Amino acid sequence: MKKVLPYLCALLLFAHLATADPDSVQKPIHNIATVNHAFSVGERLTYLISWSNILNAGTAVMEVREEKQVDGEKVYVLVSTARSSGLVSKFYKVNDIIESTIDAVTMSSLSYKLDQSHGKRKKKRTMTFDQDEGTVTVFEEGKQETYSTPPGILDPLSSLYYVRTRQDFTVGKPISIEVNDDGKNYAVEVLTLGREKIKTSLGKFDTIKVKTYPKYEGVFQHTGDIYIWFTDDKRKIPVLMKSEISIGSIVATLVAMQAGNEKQ
């Protein structure tokens, strides 16, 4: 059981996507322009996190919490919270809050805040993006550093929302994007495997099944391939996420959802 608990806790931050080390980026990918028909303010997605659908580890909630004007531009505030429960909380309490502010038109990142508590381990990080200058300034543990970024760079949370706006899910053809975490630029591949009908407590869904692989801190702790089932419609809601490990699987299942106000 002690071997399972760290994986369960890591899964509580399932919203991040990444598939390649920074050094593997040989040519600029640059995130292509998209039109957002997937989400809007007021959307709230709640997930139950479990081990092999047997042991419940906690819950995670992703929200499009706010729409506001910053320097005359419309932005969205995305918030992901994760809380452990039951046996996991008893041995290794998890309490995480991630906030990402993105340009509502370009989907590019403007800021990212991480407040992480895993047992006795605490971590806080703030990243501020200057898309015009192509930089990100990272502040953590009293230190501040500025790094170069490619155009339209995303942060770990906004990357999932950006992928939902893409319309080019083609079997065998990866969707490649760029994500920055802690000043490092990562190449991200999301490979479409096919279309499946799945059933959850919320009902039956026609879905697009994709695969990605985590490479940086905070994502499944390098447990292997991650499979995500998006609804096969304009909203591309992730209804199921799964990662195989040596002793079963880690599963995130959508158990409640609230639609946004559909302004976009």
Number of domains forming the structure of the chain: 1
- With respect to residue 68, please indicate whether it lies within any of the assigned structural domains: yes
Tens digit of each residue's pLDDT (9 = 90 or more) over 7-60: 444 444 444 444 444 544 445 567 898 999 999 999 999 999 887 666 788 888
- With respect to residue 9, please indicate whether it lies within any of the assigned structural domains: yes
- With respect to residue 263, please indicate whether it lies within any of the assigned structural domains: no
pLDDT of res. 2: 43
- With respect to residue 212, please indicate whether it lies within any of the assigned structural domains: yes
Token couple for 35: 């039109």
Separation between Cα atoms, residue 166 and residue 74, nearest integer Å: 20
- With respect to residue 264, please indicate whether it lies within any of the assigned structural domains: no
Separation between Cα atoms, residue 239 and residue 217, nearest integer Å: 23
Residue ranges in 108-236 assigned as alpha helix (H): 158-165
User: Per 3-state DSSP, what percentage of the chain is helix, strand, and coil (rounded to 5)?
Assistant: 10, 55, 35
Q: What is the dihedral of CA 7, 10, 13, 19, to 10 degrees?
A: -80
Q: Average pLDDT in the 69-83 region?
A: 89
Tens digit of each residue's pLDDT (9 = 90 or more) over 161-199: 999 999 999 998 999 889 998 899 988 888 999 999 999
pLDDT of res. 28: 57
pLDDT bracket for residue 247 (50, 70, 90): low
Picking from 107, 220, 217, the residue whose alpha carbon sits closest to that of residue 163 is 107
Write out the residue range of the structural domain in which residue 201 sits. 4-258
- With respect to residue 101, please indicate whether it lies within any of the assigned structural domains: yes
Separation between Cα atoms, residue 87 and residue 105, nearest integer Å: 42
Tens digit of each residue's pLDDT (9 = 90 or more) over 140-165: 999 999 999 999 999 989 999 999 99
pLDDT of res. 135: 97
- pLDDT more than 70, % of the chain: 81
CATH number of the domain bearing residue 113: 2.40.360
Tens digit of each residue's pLDDT (9 = 90 or more) over 122-132: 989 999 999 99
**Does residue 224 have a pLDDT over 70?**
no
- With respect to residue 81, please indicate whether it lies within any of the assigned structural domains: yes
